[in-house]
Structures are given as structure tokens and as C-alpha cells.
Amino acid sequence: MDLSTVARVKTLLGIGVATYDTELGQILTMVSGQAESYMDRQTDSSAPSTQYLDTLETGTRTVYQLQAFPVSSITTIHYDPDLDYGATTLLSSDDYRVVRNGDMGQFMLLISVAPWPSSLKVVYAGGMAATAGAFVTAYPDIAGAVDAQVAFLFQRRKEFGLEGVSGAGGSVSMFSPVTFLPMLRQVLSKYRRFTG
């Protein structure tokens, strides 16, 4: 899911016509995907999520933050060290609880069965927003920083990969367009998934 809109980026760049919509859309989708990866979160809340946690240390009782958070509902949780996740491995809602922690909807999944499972399959609903418009409203700081990154890359779209230019009069070092602007990295860092 895009974390902003082409219209917002065009406003930032002062572009009023439909020119460059395709290019801006491609850059926006690329930056949004990179931002989602950096945060280690699933941003789109419009579809159910399934997450396998098969590297839990034996005896783990608390699982911090699934990738699509804030979590709105848990559908099922299976535990199975054999990774089959059949009907006999389904936990009842009495065997776990979700504890919300903080304004970002971080949570802990507390497992009450013993011995505590080493492998889980969690089917749930969650994520940051269902549409780009809803995301902009809920996370204006991320959307604004994404806008700036997209505008920066668009203005330097013919310079991808260049880190400096030398000529007879000297050389100029440029911010590499393959990395995040410091502003975007700083904003995204506040929303990174905590893994315990």
C-alpha cells in the first residue's frame, strides 16, 4: 500500500497537471515498500494476516508485536512444534490474551498453556490503515516524510546511483538517492516493530 498520494507529492513539487503521474506513482510505491520494510510492519489493514512464529525459544510465553499492528482482532492461534497446525493444535481464547501497550497499538501476546509452545500460527486482522488516504490521516508525519523522499528522488531521477559529479571547476558531492533522507529515517524509526 502507498503511504501517501501522488497528489500530495505534486503539491509539494508545485506540479499542477497530470504530467509525471506515472513516474511519481512508481517512485511512491517504491519508497512506500522500502519504508514498510524498514519499519518491519505490514501497513495495509484491509486483508487478514497470517504469521508463523516458528523460531520461538522453547518456553516463550510472551510474543511482542505481530507484523500487522495495531491488531484489531485475533481469529485463530495454533501451536505445534511439528509445524502442521491442524485442528488439534488450535488454542482456545482462554489460552491467550492480547495486551495493548502504548499509543502505537503495540501489544504482547500472552500464552497461558503449559508447556509454552515453541511454534505458533496466528491468523489475525491488523495494520496501520486500509487506504493511502486513511494512512495519511492517521500518520501524517510518515506521509510527509515519504512525500519529501519521493520529491527528492523525482527531482534526481536522472542521477540514480550517482554520489558525486566532477568537472573542470571542481566536484560536487550529492546525497546518494538510494538511501533514505535523514528526516524519513528519523520518522520511521519511531514506528519500527519491537521484537522483544
Same domain assignment for residues 140 and 178:
yes
Tell me: do 32 and 86 sit in the same domain: no
pLDDT (tens digit, 9 = 90+) per residue, 42-79?
999 998 889 887 655 555 556 656 788 888 888 888 88
26 contacts: CB under 8 Å, gap ≥ 6: none
Residues 143 and 183 in one domain: yes
Residue 153 to residues 36, 157, 186, Cα–Cα distance (Å): 18, 6, 18
Is 1 among the domain residues?
no
Q: Are 105 and 49 in contact (CB under 8 A)?
A: no
Confirm whether 182 is domain-assigned: yes
CA distance linking residue 153 with residue 159, whole number of Å: 9
CB-facing half-sphere around the CA of 173: CA atoms within 13 A: 1
Same structural domain for residues 104 and 155? no
> Counting runs of H as helices and runs of E as strands, what totals does the chain give?
5, 8
Task: Say if residue 75 is in the same domain as residue 120.
Answer: yes
Q: Do 99 and 166 have their domain in common?
A: no
80-105 pLDDT per residue, tens:
777 788 888 888 877 776 766 554 44
Query: For residue 138, what are the domain limits?
Result: 6-43+129-189
pTM: predicted TM-score of the whole model, two decimal places: 0.78
Same domain flag for 85 and 65: yes
Do 135 and 38 fall into the same domain?
Answer: yes
